[in-house]
Structure 1
Amino acid sequence: MTQATDRLVRRSFQVDPALAGRRLDQALATLLPEFSRSRLQQWIEAGQVLVDDASGRCRDKVWGGESIRIEAVCALEQAFVAQDIALDLVYEDEEILVIDKPAGLVVHPAAGNPDGTLLNALLHHVPALAAVPRAGIVHRLDKDTTGLLVVAKTLMAHKSLVEQLQQRSVHREYRALVLGELVAGGRIEAPIGRHPQHRTKMAVVSGGRPAVTHYQVLERYPGHSLLGVELETGRTHQIRVHMTHVHHPLVGDRTYGARPRPPKGCGPELAAAIQSFPRQALHALRLGLIHPATGEPMEWEVPMATDLDALLTLFRQEPSP
């Protein structure tokens, strides 16, 4: 069991004169890049940051040479079971790890899934992740979506990746098999929020959070299309909701009304595969970001998930009408 014991952070240093004129919270964010500015502000407001032995305020200016002493509590991740669950590691170093997530693996514990999740697996693989918010998970994939997901191993990496996601500089490219034969690609800009009647679903709703999805047609099959999809934002179920909104739901996505529709006259093997496909046909194929420590751009790509690849092979083997 991962312990929920808090960690005491003690730091003492002098302010670099190069930071003269900065607010205290801004100076600390520069001096302590491993901690988020919001966390540093909380410590200042709680009186856990002393400037020349006196409590400071976030808006106080520093002029260089001040003595800073921090004695603050850094809460560890709440108690979760560390479980030996296999991870398909694509990349790992001291700051980050990149995973090829399989279908069926929930990312974070929640009601109905208290354990057996990616978070439980991460705590077993890297116990020190107990000191990082959400065990380093900075973005998620739905339970039955497959593909690439990055995890921060340190507080500095966590801060950097969260900022990159907020600045929309993380590149995420998906493959989606949808119903309907699309003529061309496009851009969907429609706000997403909780479904007004079905609280476990999301929907395009007025007053929802801004959401933008870009897609292009890669292959067309009878009654279906394979899309390349890129996210400008990262809302819950975004691709699934947006494609349903434009009347092209993902194959296998029963949550958003995608009933199996085998093409008229298709072979029995393809018809059976479409009818039995057990999940939304969505795969996170490519992931690009700036490495938190080196500042170098990095990108990864993984093969299509086996089940989706097999379905696409059957589509491609169908004789032309």
Structure 2
Amino acid sequence: MRHKKLEIPEILHGKRADIAISELLGNELSRNQVKDLIKSGDILINDEGCKPKDKVCHNDQIDVSIPDAEVSSWTAEDINLDIIFACDDYAIINKPAGLVMHPGAGIKSGTLANAVAKVYPEVLRLPRNGIVHRLDKDTSGLVVIARKNGFRNHIAEQFQNREVEKKYLAVIKGEIIGALTIDKPIARDRHNRTKMKVDESGREAISEAISLESFGGYSVVEVKIETGRTHQIRVHLSSNKTPIIGDKAYGSGSQLIKNLSDNLKDKILSFPRQALHAYQLAFLDASNEMQTYKSNPPDDILGLIESLKSNENA
């Protein structure tokens, strides 16, 4: 499997994905081959699946996986995994915060893809070691890993068609009254290529947030995403002036409010990652039966919530 990194130039902004990527690849792949790779999930735009007809934006980052060998170059490594469920077709992994999904720029090993290959060696014969979607390094939660190519195509198509239900829990500064739909397009930040931002010229992004619990200027919310843009929840909640606690990239301004104990101030300011957990994943299995998987938030998020509750009741 060869991996190529491309970037959409301004001249290709607004073109269909299959056309733009074909032009960038020159004579290496035909447009039909590009379409096939898109449909199989081997071409990602900003780390997300796409459709051939999707429009690309200036500065979009394209990841192309081109099969050229029987075995993946992402080697197996002995890394502990929290396996929620496994069957012949797939496995559900509860990814901890701090674990990168797969090797990339500057990261050659120590990733989820390497760990999965140790437990399920058959994924070495699949594109991207069976990975069909992603979580940010410092977001914890559920990930589905395909173990067979037939199921990989089956689940990749569901992600492309927005048929997979993904729900997250986030601890935020501020409150959301009832339910809130955030429908704001997202594009890569031209001034900081590691970040995304709300941009009318970007790709469609829709998030639905529901308040579950509020205490003293902070809240726990459930977020369901209809699209799967890079950093989508973090960007959307920040744009709503309800940033996620611990989000160093998008938690603009102070995350403190008045009347906090010194201990709680320290806990909020030192929280080591965005307080975001992918707690529910639902999709159709190979028999087209709906399967739903859940995981509780990890101890760091639960401890943060308890501290916020204690401060409110003090």
TM range (shorter): 0.7 to 0.9
The 3 A distance-change label for structure 1 pair 233 and 197 is same
Q: What is the percentage of aligned positions where both structures have the same residue?
A: 38
Please give the alpha-carbon distance, in whole angstroms, between the structure 1 residues aligned to 2:313 and 2:202: 43
Please give the alpha-carbon distance, in whole angstroms, between the structure 1 residues aligned to 2:221 and 2:69: 42
The 3 A distance-change label for structure 1 pair 244 and 261 is closer
Q: Which residue of structure 1 lines up, in the alignment, with residue 275 of structure 2? A: 281
Which amino acid letter does the alignment assign opposite residue 295 of structure 2?
V
Q: Which residue of structure 1 lines up, in the alignment, with residue 58 of structure 2? A: none
Please give the alpha-carbon distance, in whole angstroms, between the structure 2 residues aligned to 1:169 and 1:182: 26
Residues 193-204 of structure 1 mapped to structure 2, 5 A cutoff: 193-204=187-198
Question: SS of 1:135's equivalent?
Answer: helix
* 1:95 Cα offset (Å): 0.2
Please give the alpha-carbon distance, in whole angstroms, between the structure 2 residues aligned to 1:153 and 1:37: 23
* Pairing partner for 2:118 from 115, 118, 124: 124
Q: Which residue of structure 2 lines up, in the alignment, with residue 210 of structure 1? A: 204
Q: How many residues align?
A: 256
The 3 A distance-change label for structure 1 pair 196 and 74 is closer
Structure 1, residues 44-97: CA drift from partner, whole Å, max 9, x if none?
Answer: xxxxxxxxxxxxxxxxxxxxxxxxxxxxx8743541221001110000010000
Q: Which residue of structure 1 lines up, in the alignment, with residue 169 of structure 2? A: 175
Question: SS of 2:249's equivalent?
Answer: helix
Please give the alpha-carbon distance, in whole angstroms, between the structure 2 residues aligned to 1:77 and 1:245: 43
* 1:309 Cα offset (Å): 0.4
* 1:114 Cα offset (Å): 1.3
Residues 73-84 of structure 1 mapped to structure 2, 5 A cutoff: 75-76=69-70, 78-84=72-78
Q: Which residue of structure 2 lines up, in the alignment, with residue 294 of structure 1? A: 287
The 3 A distance-change label for structure 1 pair 118 and 138 is same
The 3 A distance-change label for structure 1 pair 190 and 216 is same
Please give the alpha-carbon distance, in whole angstroms, between the structure 2 residues aligned to 1:127 and 1:259: 46
The 3 A distance-change label for structure 1 pair 204 and 76 is farther
Instruction: Verify the 8 A CA contact 1:260 1:274 in the aligned structure 2.
Output: no
Please give the alpha-carbon distance, in whole angstroms, between the structure 1 residues aligned to 2:217 and 2:76: 45
Which amino acid letter does the alignment assign opposite residue 243 of structure 1?
L
1:317 to 2:282 alignment: no
Which amino acid letter does the alignment assign opposite residue 250 of structure 2?
Y
* 1:260 Cα offset (Å): 4.8
Which amino acid letter does the alignment assign opposite residue 165 of structure 1?
F
* 1:154 Cα offset (Å): 0.7
* 1:222 Cα offset (Å): 1.7
1:153 to 2:151 alignment: no
Instruction: Verify the 8 A CA contact 2:74 2:129 in the aligned structure 1.
Output: no
Please give the alpha-carbon distance, in whole angstroms, between the structure 2 residues aligned to 1:116 and 1:273: 28
* 1:38 Cα offset (Å): 2.0
* Root-mean-square deviation (Å): 2.2
Please give the alpha-carbon distance, in whole angstroms, between the structure 2 residues aligned to 1:300 and 1:260: 35
Which amino acid letter does the alignment assign opposite residue 235 of structure 1?
R
Please give the alpha-carbon distance, in whole angstroms, between the structure 1 residues aligned to 2:113 and 2:144: 12
Which amino acid letter does the alignment assign opposite residue 110 of structure 1?
G
1:38 to 2:36 alignment: yes
Q: Which residue of structure 2 lines up, in the alignment, with residue 88 of structure 1? A: 82
1:267 to 2:261 alignment: yes
* 1:224 Cα offset (Å): 1.5
What is the TM-score with the length of structure 2 in the denominator? 0.76
| Structure 1: segments with no counterpart, 5+ residues | 6-35, 43-72
The structure with more radius of gyration:
1
